[in-house]
Amino acid sequence: MDSFRAWTEIDLDALAQNLRSVCQRAGPGVRVMLVVKQDAYGHGAVAIAHHALRCGIGALGVGSSQEALELRGAGIQAPILILGTVVEEELPACLRHEIHVGVHAVDRCRSLQELARMMGVQAHVHLNVDTGMGRLGISTSLALDLLREVHEASHLQLAGLMTHLSAPEGGHCPSSHAQMALFRGLVEQARKEGLPCGWIHALNSAGLFTNLGVSDGLGSGSQMVRVGIAAYGALPRHLMPPSGLNQIMSLRSRIVFLKDVPADTPVGYGSLWHAPRPTRIATLPIGYGHGLPRNLHGWDALIAGRRAPLVGRLSMDYTTLDVGHLEGVRVGQEVTLLGKDGEEELRLEDLAHSLGTIPHELSCSLGRLPRVFVGGAEPFLPAQNPPLEHTKGAVHPGSLAPASGAQTPSPS
């Protein structure tokens, strides 16, 4: 770390603890898919995925084929689902690498069937049903017909049936319950016809941690939850469970310059801050070019467990602190902008709340920094769930057993 001017520290032990909380929250028999899109929300998808598999997580969700293929190239053999849409040119590579594809329309299912037939493979698909997100997914009025068509297709295997909740408040919002009711009705219709649904998944982090209910009338034995930000320990504050979650990302930098200034000295672009007294200014080599929000203000950093306020407007490359009240501050000293230092902790969701945004946005922005991975020696291994039956039109994409030979990557 001595060569880094600014970096994020990713705690794999904290990830394992959060996954334990997720599994306990989901309940026995419910499978967990860890969403690692956008480089695991800025935490490092390859390292996170490897450790999650060691922790017993049986499937991964990504946003694009590129992300899925990167994980395959890194030795990940577990089921990977592309939650978003896939452009036509990307489909052959997805099928060759047995990547599960989310489908949203009749024409995509038919083109997948023809491509899989020509390639001599089976395409594993999850039918995405639009119950109220309005972004991707087939309408509920057409979903049952498409389920029948997938069931009849010779080269399509229905691995799952899914929907996406639109309310960030999860179960606190009536629209989430309305969406679940629509989805539940579709599942019930499919079961009455004897149409297998594979994995049934609707709940995300917000839904899971607001008691929306995993089964919610969907039955038992085939439920799955898709968890992203909760696993990284940064749920928005109003959704955080009483026991809390462990923030796995810390943001560190180091002091590169110290300057004593008289009272009324302006600091930063626009001279928006003036020293209220003679003080000392510490400069850090991190700014909005590294992913910090430019409008960051009213936030403290930690130096040896002591708080020092950020002052002046952020620059592209630098941030300044008022350290005049602290003794022993020196050039080269480590500074924590997020995470723990001594008895103090700076939480990502608190920073997001102060800026009027969500933790997801901040962690993704900070993902451009170098990363150091810590911990990961003793993964959490939940009890294995029995596999779903293999039937025409429905496949079980993997059990909750740890991936064989998975190793924690070196710092990168």
- Which residues are the active-site residues? 37, 269
Q: Residue 175 to residues 16, 131, 165, 168: CA-CA distances in angstroms?
A: 32, 10, 8, 10
**C-alpha angle 66/70/73, rounded to 5°?**
135
Provide φ and ψ at 348, rounded to 5°. -65, -40
The burial class, CB within 10 Å (0-12 / 13-18 / 19+), for 75 is middle
With a CB cutoff of 8 Å and minimum separation 6, the contacts of 370 are 4, 6, 7, 8, 412
Give the SS3 label for residue 296.
coil
Scanning the structure block, which residue is given the tokens 């936030």? 299
Q: Is the Cβ–Cβ distance between 81 and 114 less than 8 Å? A: no
Give the SS3 label for residue 261.
strand
DSSP secondary structure string, 6-31?
EEEEEEHHHHHHHHHHHHHHH-TT-E
Q: Which tokens is 29 given?
A: 């028999």
Q: Is the Cβ–Cβ distance between 344 and 307 less than 8 Å? A: yes
Nearest to 253 by CA among 318, 329, 325: 318
Helices (H), 193-226: 205-208
End-to-end CA distance of the chain: 11
